[in-house]
Amino acid sequence: MNIRAIAALVLAAVFAASPLAAKDLTQEALAPLPAGLAEATFASGCFWCGEKDFEALPGVTEVISGYTGGRTPNPTYGEVGTNRTGHYEAIRVRFDPKKLSYEAVLEHFWHNVDYTDGEGQFCDRGESYRPAIFVHDEAQRAAAEASKAALAETKKLTAPIPVPILPAATFTPAENYHQNYYKTNPISYAFYRNGCGRDARLQQLWPERTSH
């Protein structure tokens, strides 16, 4: 069991015994998309990290951690972690298209994922940590395919990028204790992120960019 799984299990036990557990934050995550906003869905490995990375992007109004792309309804963290349900750990990103284009959201995704690794991300391995882009309509699909092709050309890659572009499927919000984890548990989050080598690898892939 990796350090992230241990931290999540401990936090789940603490959260279940706390007054915060009385309020189901995941129900708020199921609210319909507000008028004027757009939505994007990505898998980029650990959804704790995905939340932090995308909430830092101006124009983003909400990021929710969850599960998508699998075979079973209403999956739990424990079930997804067995790598038997087909689900990805994913994030749902809501943003204001007047301030932020979908193309810019895609660029941010590529800058925060190891686009050379289709079997997991950084220290996290297995199907639930695979990277993917989930598109909500044909316009998003066209933009995603164009961005993927541009990345391959820019980086002069000789092998195909192993990040699939898939139709958006049912998105199940993750348990309350996973939401905003980097804010509610900053020390354990920092320990996990550094130990997993995420930023070190991103710096290798994007040396021209400042690491997190």
Residues designated catalytic: 46
Asked whether the beta carbons of 47 and 65 are under 8 A apart, the reply is yes
- Pairwise CA distance, residues 152 & 170, whole Å: 29
Number of H helices and E strands in the chain, helices first, is 9, 8
State residue 37 phi and psi, 5-degree precision.
-105, 160
Of all helices (H) and strands (E), which one includes residue 124?
Answer: strand 124-125
- Which residues, 6+ apart, have CB-to-CB distance to 187 below 8 Å? none
